[in-house]
Amino acid sequence: MYRCYFVLLFGFIFSLNAQNVYFVDGYHGGIYGHYPVEWKTAFILENLNKYPEWKICFEIEPETWDSVKQKTPIQFDIFKNISHSDRLEFTNPTYAQPYCYNISGESIIRQFQYGINKINSHFPGVSFNTYSVEEPCFTSSLPQILKSFGFNYAVLKCPNTCWGGYTSAYGKDLVNWIGPDGTSLVTVPRYGCEDFEDNSTWQTTAWINSPEYINACFSYGVKNPVGMCFQDAGWKNGPWLGFGAKNKSNSVYVTWKEYFEKISDGKTADNWHFTQEDVRVNLMWGSQVLQKIAQQVRHSENKIVQAEKLSAMAYLENGFKPDQKQMDEAWRTLMLAQHHDSWIVPYNRMNKTNTWADEIAVWTNKTNDTSNEIMQKSLGSFENATAGNDYFIRVYNTVGFLRNEVVAMQLPENLMAGTFRLLDADKKEISYSVSKANTIHFQANVPAFGYATYQLSKLKSVKKSVEKTFRKTADECTLENDMYKIVFDLNKGGTIKSLVSKTQGNKEYVSKQSELLLGEIRGFFYEQNKFRSSAESKAKVTLLESNAHKSTVRISGHIASHSFDQTVTISTGSAVVDFDLNIKWKHNEGIGEYKQQDNWQENRRAFCNDRYKLNIWFPVDLKTPKLYKNAPFDVCESRLNNTTFNTWDSIKHNVILNWIDLSEQENGDGLALFSDHTTSYTYGDNLPLGLTIQYSGKGLWGPDYKITGSTKLKYALVPHSQKWDKAAVQSKNTAWNEPLIARVSKGLKSENRSFIDLKNSGYELSAVQITENGVLMRLFNAESNAGEQKIDIGFRFNEITEVELNGTQRQSDPALKKINANELTLSIPQFGIRNIYLKN
């Protein structure tokens, strides 16, 4: 992003007590984040030559080197020749420098894979030893990801660019960063004495090796103090602290690799179990622009992973292979949409016409279009055009466990719903319901990572499955099926006055103790100087669908003068209650703690305190529940008493990636909340769980984050027994993000098949990728302990190898314990990821 810093390198003198202090200098940016290709490389080379003791680290978008090579080939060749020098270090090879905490674990892996490959294509053989970044691009599971790519060290400082957050202050010279799976990585932390810079809301004291910082380090017991600054690549600065007499702190320039291996002790006994709540970050949660970006990225993440998995099924059965260049380009555009700048400065212009937000829409649309094309080609490869005229519905399941779910299938015009029988692979008749637009609903029982096939057989008499699941009075309406009975209070905006889970002994989830109502939409409209709520107005209800398989109602109400529609859907046998909200704003409204003026750089900020933003509230009847939230390859048990903060220097982690769960003790009850995008949540201080859905007002760098259209989002509630892992909350969310895929086809065999069955292992299929002569299966242990688990492989393979993310064979702590024909016995620590390469 473009930021101007005026740095005054004033003269100061302080005692070093004969101890050296160190500084890691570097550059951050790229062609998407300000790397002036025409002069920057020459400038770097000139300064390296001018200051022989200067050493620098590079956090440069890998695509940048394509442009450098094309536009300044002479300088590129010179740089290539010195790229292995011990004066240079590549510290963040990710393709587009994502924040990491806000995207999927699989996306993080691809960011590193594609980025490292791109850098190695220009500078073969360069090593990646230390992960270090300018912005808070951190997440708790990085240790195992970094180690599997060959990294040895990490740095948890980002002292010059903390606009969007920072890590917790902890420790001294070195710590062992312990990830959720137990992986340990030697790390330089943000020291326990590393305070925030005075009169700044974007820096810690380590940014310039000031006397205050150095003296604080020595007083705290830091043996070898080190500061850092990765300069914006658009700045015309050489050595950040100056050189010679201008380097007033007498700091020694080092690379991070040099610091770890030649300056520090290189090891420590201080084990820091760094949790996701140590990533203290705050973006413009609830603003429409960020909400749309987060939804677009999430949708594309889900889409491309399903496309890869479907193509792997097609490869294993039909030998189909998609165009790998096409797949790579789909990942490339998604990775660009995950760039940290797109999330923190969405209104900044990337070119003369488009902002970051504009480009993200273009990039994710490209990813979606390509993914859809690959999916259609993969599905088409199963069909045999000469195999007869019978029609079939085949349902594909891209997750690693059996699913029994309601499927909605719109039939082609030549197949009239209700004029045929539906037969499964055993020729057993399956009941179905008919709804509008020639659509049928039926219960599909689909094998793990595989498909189920249903034949459409002609029927003489039409049978329709009908069930009454909806009742309505003037004051309330009731939606009911085999799983739930939900009562909506129409006098209070359609909020939920009763939510009974029938499978939990008719457990009532609605709290009678809270002033807020379940499903209430409420926030502070600061121009009106009061809270406004959907419960202020009477709502109307419309039955959209009601049959033996699926029921949907639409609740229509108002928030102040603005109307909203919300559909609520329950399906037979499904623990998930789906909500689809659309707030149709008439005009912009100021929503937040107060009206933010142009003083957005001040410590207190209106966009920090989410309890004043528009939230959907979920007061539930649970006894002293604990809060759990997922993160990339992790689930974090919250330690926070509350999520409330309103200043930059008191940020708390209140981010929902995919889901949040409130659970009583081990054998109690719980409620999970799913979100279709990364955003924030509110909880504690006598407030129930709230999902942030709207902020409107000024924000970072001063733009007015206005309401410019409708607010649209999807979320879901999942009542359950026991803790989140025993209740398979992660698995249910994975299925929610990867819906069953149904297709009407001719020329199919009436059969079912599973290619990979994870059974009840608690494992997740993070990815299944086609390789040169087989498939790569990436497993994530989300819900079980490290005990042995058995999984089935439903295809032939000649060789099996466990590999690291960098492609080398795994040497330590192998997951694979036994192979018995096509049954594998594995042991993976909880929250661990393992890569199994099956050659066939």
Tell me the pLDDT band of 196, cut-offs 50, 70 and 90. very high
* % of the chain residues with pLDDT over 70: 96
Evaluate the CA torsion angle 186, 188, 189, 193 in order and state its sign. Answer: positive
pLDDT of 65 higher than 80:
yes
* Mean local confidence (pLDDT), 434-448: 93
* Predicted pLDDT of residue 6: 32
Kindly state the tokens that stand for 359.
């480009």
Query: How many C-beta atoms surround the C-beta of residue 413 within 10 A?
Result: 6
* Predicted pLDDT of residue 371: 98
Kindly state the tokens that stand for 656.
């929902």
Tell me the pLDDT band of 414, cut-offs 50, 70 and 90. confident
Q: What is the DSSP string of 287-300?
A: -HHHHHHHHHHHHH
Tell me the pLDDT band of 837, cut-offs 50, 70 and 90. very high
> Which residue type is seen at 815?
A
Answer yes or no: are the C-beta atoms of 662 and 689 closer than 8 Å: yes
* Mean local confidence (pLDDT), 445-455: 97
The secondary structure element, H or E, covering residue 356 is helix 356-380
Indicate the DSSP class of residue 492.
G
pLDDT single digits (tens) 92-138 = 999 999 999 999 999 999 999 999 999 999 999 999 999 999 999 99
Query: What are the residue ranges of helices labelled H in 208-339?
Result: 211-220, 256-258, 288-318, 324-337
Indicate the DSSP class of residue 788.
-
Tell me which residue has tokens 């590999």.
803
* Predicted pLDDT of residue 415: 86
pLDDT of 187 higher than 90:
yes
**Do the strands 704-705 and 450-458 form a parallel or antiparallel pair, or are they unpaired?**
unpaired
* Predicted pLDDT of residue 467: 57
* Predicted pLDDT of residue 469: 79
Q: What is the DSSP string of 641-693?
A: SB----BGGG----EESSEEEEE-STTSEEEEEEESS-EEEEEETTEEEEEEE
pLDDT single digits (tens) 587-636 = 999 999 999 988 878 999 999 999 999 999 999 999 999 999 999 999 99
Tell me the pLDDT band of 306, cut-offs 50, 70 and 90. very high
* Predicted pLDDT of residue 5: 35
pLDDT single digits (tens) 561-587 = 999 999 999 999 999 999 999 999 999
pLDDT single digits (tens) 243-274 = 988 898 999 999 999 999 999 999 999 999 99
